[in-house]
Amino acid sequence: MDSTDDITITRRNLLIAGAGATATVPLSVAAQAPAAEPAVVSRVSLEVNGTMRTLEVDTRTSLLDVLREHLHLTGTKKGCDQGQCGACTVLVNGRRTVSCLSLAVMNTGAKVTTIEGLGTPASLHPMQAAFIKHDGFQCGYCTPGQICSAVGVLDEIRRGVPSHVSADLNVQPMVSAAELRERMSGNLCRCGAYSNIVDAITEVAGARS
């Protein structure tokens, strides 16, 4: 009997203690975190879509978050935030880059081109126009990253960068469907618009050559 009471009391006390702990943890975190680990602010100057921008940012800020949250260029999308989906792809000094895995402060002096800088609704970049013509998207969330990546891919092929499916390392790579699929494997599309994306890129590549 005594032991039953003890258990009851213990359980009740445990629940009360647990509730108290639950209530106090967020408060203590909120109170202590800023004091224990103050954010460090640093200045970054970079050129975005042709305009010089200088900002004071927390050193932890990714290039992606600077583009979206500080410069309000929300065309660039945050998907996985760990470099696996490609939705945040932008061109940095002309090369396709996942902006989620680059710190803003590491991009001082860089020239960044986002989907907003490639073209405008009134004057589309050829890759944007081709994606529309070929239905290279459904929901559109991955599309800015796909288009920036595709522009980078055609430049890489033009410069002779080989890929995993290039048959011969020592000849100019082709613009084949197999090449485009391999080179675009860092851009995921959950709607599955892949075949139309390949058609769009193929058309732009053909128009250039």
Ranges within 148-167 binding other proteins (CB under 8 A): 149, 152-153, 156, 159-164, 166
Nearer to other proteins, 68 or 96 (CB): 96
The answer to whether 76 and 49 are in contact (CB under 8 A) is no
Per CB under 8 A, the list member of 17, 21, 39, 132 interacting with other proteins is 39
Per CB under 8 A, the list member of 4, 51, 123, 170 interacting with other proteins is 170
Other beta carbons within 10 angstroms of residue 177's beta carbon come to 13
N residues, the chain: 209
- Is 75 among the residues that bind other proteins (CB under 8 A)? no
What phi and psi, each to the nearest 5 degrees, are found at residue 171? -125, 160
Q: Helix axis angle, 126-133 relative to 143-158, nearest 10°?
A: 120
DSSP 8-state class, residue 103:
B
- The minimum distance between CB 111 and other proteins, in angstroms, equals 14
- The minimum distance between CB 152 and other proteins, in angstroms, equals 7
Ranges within 87-106 binding other proteins (CB under 8 A): 89, 95-98, 100-103, 105-106
* Amino acid at position 95, single letter: R
Query: Most distant CA pair in the chain: distance in Å?
Result: 90
- Is 20 among the residues that bind other proteins (CB under 8 A)? no
Vertex 137 angle, CA 132 and 141, to 5°: 115
Contact residues toward other proteins (CB under 8 A) are: 37-40, 42, 58-60, 62, 81-83, 86, 89, 95-98, 100-103, 105-106, 108, 149, 152-153, 156, 159-164, 166, 169-170, 181-187
